[in-house]
Each structure stands twice: as structure tokens, then as C-alpha cells.
Amino acid sequence: MNEIGSFDAKNKLSELLAKAERGEEIIITRRGRPVAKLGPVSVGHDIEGARAAMRRIRTLAQQMKLGPYDWSEWKSHRDQGRR
């Protein structure tokens, strides 16, 4: 992780943004103390990854001869502690 002073960060913002796009994180300091972190933004959810995980879980459940599922029971387990 790189560190840069606030004055230099202001003057090199385009360069720092390019680094963030490439996945780097930069700590911005003021008088030697860290005050901010500049880094990449995660974009949305990986829908295809979630669907692939769901298929793997269903296949594994079939191989283990689990089910049929009581989805209301599963949802109640999921929601425990959310109140």
C-alpha cells in the first residue's frame, strides 16, 4: 500500500485514480498521519457467480440425497438474529 501526502495527492490525482482503477490502495497523509484511503470500488454483485454457487449446492444436495427442503424453515434459520 502506497502513502502520499495530501499536497502531492492533490497534484497527482489523475495518476492516483489510475492506480486505484488497477486495484491499488493509496493512503493519503497529512503531516505524516494517515487521514484517508483511496482504492478501487467494488462494482455490484456477481450474479453469475451466485448462480454457479447455487448450482453447486443443489448438485451436492442431490449427491448427498438431501431434501426436499422446507424453504420456510430455511428462511427462519436465515433470519434468526436479524431482529
Asked whether the predicted pLDDT for residue 66 surpasses 80, the reply is: no
Please state which architecture CATH assigns to domain 2-38. 3-Layer(aba) Sandwich (3.40)
d(CA 25, CA 33): 16
d(CA 68, CA 46): 27
The pTM of this model reads 0.51
C-beta of residue 61 within 8 angstroms of C-beta of residue 67 = yes
Residue 44 has what pLDDT?
75
Summarised one tens digit per residue, pLDDT across range 1-49 is: 699 999 999 999 999 999 999 989 999 999 999 999 999 987 777 888 8
Instruction: Compute CA distances 45 → 3, 16, 78, 79, whole Å.
Output: 30, 25, 20, 21
Question: What are the extents of the domains in the chain?
Answer: 2-38
